[in-house]
Every structure is written in C-alpha cells, then in structure tokens.
Amino acid sequence: MKKIILFTTSLFLTTVIFAQTFQILNANKENVSNTGFNVSGNPNSIIEAHIYIVNTSASFAQFKVKKIETNVLANTVNTFCFNGQCYPPSVFETPSFITLQAGDTSTSTAFYGDYTPNGVIGASVITYVVFNANNTNDSTYVNVTYTVNPASVYKPDYSKIEFSNPYPNPAVVQARINYNIPYAFNSANLILRNLIGTKVKEIEITNPQGKLTIDVTDLNEGIYFYSLIIDGNIILTRKLIKD
C-alpha cells in the first residue's frame, strides 16, 4: 500500500516569471530542472540519485535543499546526504547551505538521495526542491523516481499521455487543462495541494480525453502543486499559481 504525501514544504517558489538562479542536472549532466528522471536498482540494494546544481546567475549564490515525499511506498526508507553529511529519514531540509560562485556546478557528492527499498518492488517518487538560502522564492525542483525491479510487470507507456500546462497560469478565477489518456485505466484523479501538503481540491477524471477546469476562486493567493494520479501512480506533478 502506498502512502502519498505531496509537497510538505514551506514557502518556496514564486511566480514563473522570476528567473531561477539554480539549474538541476542529473548524473548524465542533463538539465532536469522542474521535470524529473528515473534511477533503478534491485530490491536489496541502496539506490542513489546524484544531482548537480548549477549557479546560472552572475554572482555567488547559496543553496539549500528540501525533500518532499511525493509518492512513497510503505516500508521503504529514503534519506539524503548534503555537503558531506548524511541525515536520517526524519530530516526533510538541509540545515546548512552550499555556496556556488557564478557559473559553478556542485560536485556529484554535494547532494544525493538514498533510497532503501527493503525488498519492496515498485516505484517511489521523491521531489527535491533546491532553493536560494537568502530568498526562498528563488527555487527549482526535480522529481526523482526510484524504481525497484523486476521490471517485467506491465506498466503503461505514460509518455503517451497528453496533459497540457494549465492556462491561464497564474489564474484568478479558473485554470483549464487539456488532456488525453490513450489507454484504459481504473481510476484517475487530479489532486491539488498547497505548500504545506494539505489537499485543497480533488477532481475525478472519468473520460479518457477532454478538458479539466480548476476553480481557484476559493483559494488563497500563492503557489500550489497539482498531480495527475492514474491507478495509484503519480504520473506528473506541476505548479499552479493563484493570483
């Protein structure tokens, strides 16, 4: 049984129009800022996800990292190591920061996540938010999927799902999303949560294609995250701003 804990974080990120100081790269040095990547391993190993942080600004910057258990399988354990110090599962935010000069990239050991499956087969998603230690509105995130084989279990090709970005975004009254799910599913929902992890809306998706309307008139101004969940799997997580 999965436990779904989305985005238990404090006030990170602001409107998408602000420039982001940091860029996140995966182990292959691919830009995965505000998207995600997958790492895999066997049921009895520790799976590591190494990320690099790039300071894209013209001056030095100090960054910290916040861990968010987006969709974590029961009986698994996740931790992270930061600046030479590894922390227990109960720590969700780095107590210290790392300074990067303009244009510099952190080392492969500056920050990485550890995932211990304890024999549990399946996938867990953990979000890491990299933010400016001096300006929490300046942030970037990455969703890391820790996949434990065997991979012979059937899994639909989620890459074929069409799910547009919300428009308008920021939204004042409503935000709309066009979607197309080109395979059969038992259940599908869109869940919207605020930055302290509280679910504020849930929209059931019954048709394989169409348009979702998110009424935001009853929401406070600020940052929200919505997730598309199909048959218990978080397919994607994106940001919605209420003006």
Q: Are strands 47-50 and 22-25 parallel, antiparallel or unpaired?
A: unpaired
- Residue 94, class by beta-carbon neighbours within 10 Å (0-12 exposed, 13-18 middle, 19+ buried)? buried
8 pLDDT above the threshold of 70: no
pLDDT in tens, 196-219: 888 999 999 999 999 999 999 999
Rounded Cα–Cα distance for residues 2 and 99 (Å): 37
Q: Is-same-fold flag (2-148; 158-242)?
A: yes
DSSP state at residue 101: -
- 2-148: CATH topology is Immunoglobulin-like (2.60.40)
Residue ranges per domain, the chain? 2-148, 158-242
Closest CA to 212 of 231, 194, 238: 238
Give the pTM: 0.57
- The burial class, CB within 10 Å (0-12 / 13-18 / 19+), for 224 is buried
Pick the residue with more confidence: 242 or 10?
Answer: 242
Give tens-digit pLDDT for 110-144.
999 999 999 899 999 999 999 999 998 899 999 99
The one-letter amino acid code at 195 reads L
Q: Using an 8 Å Cβ cutoff, are 21 and 132 in contact?
A: yes
pLDDT at 15: 36
207 burial via Cβ count (<10 Å: 0-12, 13-18, 19+): exposed
Q: What is the pLDDT of residues 31-87, one digit of tens each?
A: 999 999 999 988 888 899 999 999 999 999 999 999 999 999 999 999 999 998 999
Which residues, other chains included, contact 170 with Cβ-Cβ below 8 Å and sequence gap of 6+?
Answer: 15, 241, 242, 243
> What pLDDT, on a 0 to 100 scale, did the predictor assign at position 109?
87
Q: What is the pLDDT of residue 171?
A: 96
Burial 51-73 (b: 16+ CB within 10 A, else e): bbbbbbbeeebbbbbbbbbbbbb
Closest CA to 230 of 160, 181, 165: 181
- Confidence at residue 158, expressed as pLDDT on a 0 to 100 scale: 83
Q: Which pLDDT belongs to residue 17?
A: 36
* pLDDT given for residue 14 in this prediction: 38
pLDDT for residue 33: 95
Query: Which CATH number is 158-242 given?
Result: 2.60.40.1930
